[in-house]
Every structure is written in C-alpha cells, then in structure tokens.
Amino acid sequence: MITVNDQQLDVLFDRLWPICRSITGPGISESLDILREYIPIEVKCVPTGRAVFDWVVPQEWALERATLSTDDGVVILDTDVNNLHVLNYSEPFFGKVDFETLSAHLHTDPDLPEAIPYVTSYYAPRWGLCLTERQLAGLRRDAEYIVDIKTKKFDGFLRYGDITLVGESSETILITSYLCHPSMANNELSGPLALVSLYSALEKMPYRRFSYRFVIVPETIGSVTFLANTPEDEIDQVVAGIVLTCLGGPNKTVSFKHSRRHWLDEESAIDDFVEKLCQYDKALYCERDFTPTCGSDERQFCSPAVNLPVVQAAKTVYGDFDQYHTSLDDKSFMRISSVVDSVDKLLLMLRGYELEHRRLVPKIQGGEPMLGKRGLYPTLNSTLTRKMSDDVVFDGREQLNLILNVISLIDGKRQLSEIVEKLNTPFRQVIAVIEALLEKDVITYE
C-alpha cells in the first residue's frame, strides 16, 4: 500500500480528477482500482436489474466522447476537454439539428455564466449537453449543428468499495463517502481523499476499541445497494457512522449534520458526543439539524426502516458555495490542505469518541504520580498542542494545572465528556492530556 501523506493525497487527486465517473460504469471501476492502491478495499459487484429495496440496480453507462460542432466541422464542445459537457447518463445521439431542436437538450447555469453545470438523468432516458451561458450566447440561432454523443448502456454491475478495520469490539463505526461525480473537487473528491487518509490514521491507532467499516459508494443508489446487500447482523453492529462530503472548501470548521435519531429525540451516542464537542470546541466544529430534504447518503442510513445513528461531516457544505455542481468546483477552490485539516479535526473527534467509551482508571496508587520523571512536569513537551495549536496556548503552570485536574478526575467513574464539562475545557486539550497520561502509564483504560 502507498503511505498516505499530503503529497500522496495530491497525487491521488490528480489521478482521479480527469475520470468521467457516474453511478455505474468504467469511470467508477477505474476510480475504485486506483483507490485500492491506497486502501485495501474489496470491490463488491451487484448485477444490473437486481432489486435493492424499492430501487433496481441500473445498467452501466460509459462515455466514449461527446462533441457539438458547427455544420462545417468547428468543434464547440468536447468532453475530451471537459467531461461535464455531456449530460451524465445521456443516451447516445448523432445527427444534424437546428438551434431550436438543439436548445431543448442544452443545459446551462444562468447565475454562473462561466460555469459548465453538472446535470444528470439517471433514470429517465434522454440525451443532452452542458455548456456555459457564454457558450450558449455564442451559438447562432439560424445555424445547424452536428451532435455526436458516443455513449452506451449495458448490463453489468454496480460497484462499491468495502473494508473493515477490526477493533477490540464488533461494535462498528461506519465511515463512508460517495464516488460517482465526474471532474469536481470539493463535492466529489474531498470525501474519498478524507476517507483514505482516515483509514491510514486509524489503522495506526494504538487503542482502537471500535471496528471501523469504510465504504465507498455511488451516491444514493450505492448506499441503498450496500444496505440491501449487507447481512442484517452486520448492519446491527453499526453503532455510529459518519458520511464524508465537501471537506475541502475554505470554511474553517467541520460541520456535523445530526442523524434522524437526534431529530426525533431518540438515543444516539454519536449525536450526543457531537453536540458536546461543538459546545466546547466551537473553533473547530459546528452542528446542523437533520433534514431528509437535502444532503448525502445519511438520508439512506437514517431512513425510517434503517434508522442508524449516522451523522454527516462537511466543511464548505453543498449548496452553500456558488461553485457547487459546476466546473468551477476545481482544485483552485478545493485545497488539499483543507482536506488534511478536515481529517485532523475528524481524527480528533474519533480519538475522543474512542476515549468516551473507555473506562479510564489510574495506574498509580498511594498519592499523586511523580510527573517529573515522566517528562510531564512542568511542560508536556508540546503534546498538548498537537495539530490544533492555533488557539491552544499554555504556559507551564496552565499545563500543569490541567494535567493535575485531569488526573484527579480519572477514577473509573467519569467519561471524557464529564471531565470536559467539569473543567469547562475544550475536548482537544483534555484528549491531549489523557493520551499523554496513557503513553506515560500514569493511567490506563478498561
């Protein structure tokens, strides 16, 4: 496997970017094959025509090339230049048409005259092309045009990636993202990049209580297919989940959309933890209410008959940036550094969630532990700050006071969140202290 660092994520982005993906077809197959070099996913295949709950797995769709030309051969649009120029899942078409006929099959975004919109027609057969408003304005109304859309649909499979990191418990945290859009960055590639990076980090976690199941699917139909194709006892093992989407934009905080359980005031440990995390670490996290009317695959995982405690994590959220679902959602908008920052914040959240579900107990009996011989007095050798250092600044006495307070509260009776609440201190600071105390054998967990 390739070691995942910032540079490798950048390379991975560049490899995935030009591929014309859809919910099925060679684009997603090629993309999953690339991801397998970074994370050992098993590619699962579900055949065309199979019923998956109320849905049916569609035929595969493949694009060879689509062009729009003048009748004298001047190429106006070409998917070899930008794969958003074709209506995703378009029927094949070849012919000479006048502007009036052509215009019924053209799609633009009037609010963004320089953007090619991303438009799909998965379940209703039609042909179409997408272009900018400026390109549309340049078309002559009295001319004829050659449309050449080389696509095909065929029986095959819907494919998705699936891999589990086994922990001490069969209780599973589901981490999932979608991979089905063509060349878009924040709304397409930031989620899979974050998923790969989280896998790499969690694989090395020394105290992994939970198992982690990583699933990469085509959006909606893929999560429905995963749920329908996975044994019920495995679904029952899912005690929490996070859908990763739009994690590479310019916003600073990671935003959690709550699960349906939270919306209905039902029990959900991950929603409770997220709520407290957003309360005490406002510089890093914020929260949104659940809604079934928009979002990503959390709508399927939280649907009434499934009702899993699955939240969604985003940074610059879909619909809240003008570039959404257009050609302007590119690498100049989505930064690899922003994805890495999101991963750091999500990893901090998961480290905390792991500790929240541990019974923390002291190892030193008969008085306070001697901190000096463990390098914990009077400083923590910068362990406190880790990668969240922008607003975590302590002098030596503040560090010592926090260490002593945390030690005094670790008696096997309190969860991480109770310690945070008692001290009115951000999770990131308490987590760093607890991890340092674990490393130095001052405390342990059960």
Cβ distance 431 to 416 under 8 Å? Answer: yes
Cβ distance 129 to 86 under 8 Å? Answer: yes
Inter-helix orientation angle 416-423/336-356, to 10°: 100
221 with 106, same domain: the answer is no
Q: Is residue 1 part of a domain?
A: no
Query: Which residues span the domain enclosing 161?
Result: 6-58+157-356
308 with 439, same domain: the answer is no
Residue 257's Cβ-side half-sphere holds a number of Cα atoms within 13 Å equal to 25
Q: Is residue 229 part of a domain?
A: yes
188 with 319, same domain: the answer is yes
| Entry field: residues in the chain | 446
280 with 421, same domain: the answer is no
118 with 173, same domain: the answer is no
131 with 255, same domain: the answer is no
195 with 276, same domain: the answer is yes
Cβ distance 288 to 319 under 8 Å? Answer: no
215 with 325, same domain: the answer is yes
The Cα 20–Cα 27 span in angstroms is 5
137 with 231, same domain: the answer is no
Residue 131: which CATH number? 3.50.30.90
- The closest of 35, 38, 59 to 47, measured between CA atoms, is 59
By the 10 Å C-beta count (0-12 exposed, 13-18 middle, 19+ buried), 144 is classed as middle
Cβ distance 219 to 180 under 8 Å? Answer: yes
Spatial strand order of the sheet with 172-178 comes to: 42-47, 157-165, 211-217, 172-178, 238-244, 310-314, 254-257, 285-288
pTM of the model: 0.94
Q: Is residue 422 part of a domain?
A: yes
Structure tokens given for 33: 């094959």
166 with 289, same domain: the answer is yes
Q: Among residues 333, 356, 379, which one ends one of the domains? A: 356
Task: State the pLDDT at residue 377.
Answer: 76
Q: Is residue 22 part of a domain?
A: yes
296 with 330, same domain: the answer is yes
337 with 365, same domain: the answer is no
- The closest of 110, 148, 111, 113 to 129, measured between CA atoms, is 148
Number of domains observed in the structure of the chain? 3
Cβ distance 208 to 167 under 8 Å? Answer: yes
Q: Which residues are registered as beta bridge partners of 120?
A: 88
Q: Which residue has the tokens 């378009």?
A: 90
Please, which residues have CB within 8 angstroms of residue 128's CB and are 6 or more apart in sequence? 86, 87, 90, 105, 106, 107, 119, 121
Q: Which residue has the tokens 């257009």?
A: 326
Mean pLDDT per 10-residue interval, the chain, length 446 residues: 80 98 98 97 98 98 98 96 98 98 98 97 98 97 97 98 97 98 97 97 92 98 98 98 97 97 97 98 97 96 98 92 96 96 97 96 88 74 43 65 94 95 96 94 91
Q: Is residue 79 part of a domain?
A: yes
Q: Which residue has the tokens 């050449």?
A: 148
Q: Among residues 108, 128, 154, which one ends one of the domains? A: 154
Residue 37: which CATH number? 3.40.630.10
Q: Among residues 340, 356, 372, which one ends one of the domains? A: 356
Q: Which residue has the tokens 């878009």?
A: 184
Q: Is residue 245 part of a domain?
A: yes
